[in-house]
């Protein structure tokens, strides 16, 4: 964990940057900011904490982290997994040529959190109650019933799908799903990740991810639809997969369905990762967007901190490629939700893989 633990009893109430949310986006941003800035990282959860997640690093995530050297302790087995697409509606089943790095999400977050520098103070178990802006941004935070007002030149919301900071920046909400997964002991080793499509379950996708001798089986719904999750389990058992259930977990997942749902901030309050609506609408992959938007925010803050009124403008420039990436995937998400259109898309993908 970060060595500079911050307590509300501390006299420190004025920072250059306050980051709300110590997940992937927040921790990576804290690590990426210049060492001459005084940074406070705040998270509502008490750390160390676990987060429901598939824990797969796509190629873009691997590129962002390439200079840091991901330690072996963060990796799960198999450390690299291929991706198999299973379309139950159309009877399609083939392996996509991708190499996804498989991580233990608990260890991954702990590693990122440890990368913070000496100029970063960390307050876990601390909730943001309100955000205001009057030249400088101010936050009211609470910990064990104690309230404190903190002032900063810049506030960054990295607080995920339920972002309170976002509610200050915009009234537009991001479409959300309830991601629900079961962790179990595998009956036999699984060396591939499965992405499963079945319109009887949802208009999204479901997943099966190997984690050493365990497996993550999950899906996402517009509401708590446990009956459809059990239908998924039944269909997977018929597909030849079996496991001994250990526990279940859930979390909210952003799924932007229109460009208007993407918001990068307001004034000197910036939003990164899921708080900004930057997450894949097709597969819910958020780690790469968290890392890329955090790096863009770090560049904007580093290059223009003497002029906080230009922070958002410069962040919008830096984050433009990330925004375009999400926007171009929105029509794909609609196509993948339609079994007939999905069949055509996957047949074309399968043909291209067959021909090399």
What does the pLDDT look like over 21-39, one tens digit per residue? 999 999 999 999 998 899 9
Largest CA distance in the chain: 65
Q: Is 22 exposed, middle or buried (0-12, 13-18, 19+ CB in 10 A)?
A: buried
| pLDDT tens-digit map of 60-89 | 999 999 888 899 999 999 999 889 999 999
Domains of the chain, by residue range, sit at 14-50+108-174+257-335, 56-103+176-255+339-355
Q: What is the DSSP letter of 174?
A: P
What secondary structure does DSSP assign to 116-172, as a single string?
--TTEEEE-S-EEEEEEEESEEEEEEEETTEEEEEEEEEEEE--GGG-HHHHHH-SP
Which CATH superfamily includes the segment(s) 14-50+108-174+257-335? FAD/NAD(P)-binding domain (3.50.50.60)
Which CATH superfamily includes the segment(s) 56-103+176-255+339-355? D-Amino Acid Oxidase, subunit A, domain 2 (3.30.9.10)
Q: Which range (47-61, 68-82, 169-183, 334-348) has the least confidence? A: 47-61
Question: Whole-model pTM?
Answer: 0.92
* Cα-Cα end-to-end distance for the chain: 45
pLDDT at 88: 96
pLDDT at 340: 94
* 282-296 mean pLDDT: 95
Nearest to 275 by CA among 256, 303, 248, 249: 256
Name the more confident of 222 and 207: 207
Beta bridge partners, 39, equal 17, 120
Evaluate whether 14-50+108-174+257-335 and 56-103+176-255+339-355 have a shared fold: no
| pLDDT tens-digit map of 104-142 | 998 998 898 887 667 788 888 888 998 987 678 888 888
3-state SS class at 68: coil
3-state SS class at 173: coil
Total residue count of the chain as it appears in this document: 356
Q: Which range (64-68, 158-162, 167-171, 187-191) has the least confidence? A: 187-191
* 251-256 mean pLDDT: 92
pLDDT at 352: 47
């Amino acid at each position: 964990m970060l060595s500079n633990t911050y307590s509300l009893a501390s006299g420190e109430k004025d920072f250059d940057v306050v980051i709300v949310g110590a997940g992937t986006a927040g921790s990576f941003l804290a690590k990426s900011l210049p060492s001459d800035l005084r940074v406070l990282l705040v998270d509502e959860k008490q750390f160390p904490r676990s987060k429901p997640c598939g824990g797969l690093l796509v190629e873009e995530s691997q590129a962002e982290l390439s200079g840091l050297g991901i330690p072996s302790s963060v990796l799960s087995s198999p450390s690299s997994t291929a991706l198999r697409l299973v379309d139950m509606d159309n009877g399609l089943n083939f392996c996509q040529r991708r190499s996804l790095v498989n991580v233990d999400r608990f260890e991954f977050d702990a590693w990122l959190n440890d990368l913070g520098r000496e100029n970063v103070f960390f307050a876990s178990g601390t909730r943001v109650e309100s955000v205001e802006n009057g030249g400088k941004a101010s936050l009211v935070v609470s910990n064990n019933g104690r309230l404190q007002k903190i002032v900063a030149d810049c506030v960054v919301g990295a607080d995920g799908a339920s972002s309170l900071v976002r509610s200050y920046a915009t009234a537009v909400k991001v479409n959300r799903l309830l991601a629900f997964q079961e962790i179990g002991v595998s009956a036999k080793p699984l060396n591939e990740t499965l992405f499963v499509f079945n319109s009887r379950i949802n208009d999204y996708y479901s997943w099966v991810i190997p984690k050493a001798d365990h497996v993550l089986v999950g899906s996402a719904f517009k509401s708590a639809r446990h009956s459809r999750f059990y239908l998924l389990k039944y269909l997977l058992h018929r597909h030849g997969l079996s496991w001994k259930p250990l526990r279940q977990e859930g979390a909210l997942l952003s799924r932007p369905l229109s460009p208007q749902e993407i918001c990068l901030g307001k004034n000197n309050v910036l939003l990164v990762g899921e708080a900004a609506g930057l997450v894949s609408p097709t597969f819910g992959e958020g780690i790469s967007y968290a890392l890329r938007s955090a790096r863009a925010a770090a560049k904007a803050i580093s290059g223009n901190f003497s002029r906080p009124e230009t922070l958002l403008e410069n962040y919008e420039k830096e984050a433009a490629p990330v925004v375009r990436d999400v926007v171009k995937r929105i029509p794909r998400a609609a196509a993948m939700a339609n079994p007939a259109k999905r069949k055509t898309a996957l047949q074309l993908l399968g043909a291209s893989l067959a021909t090399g």
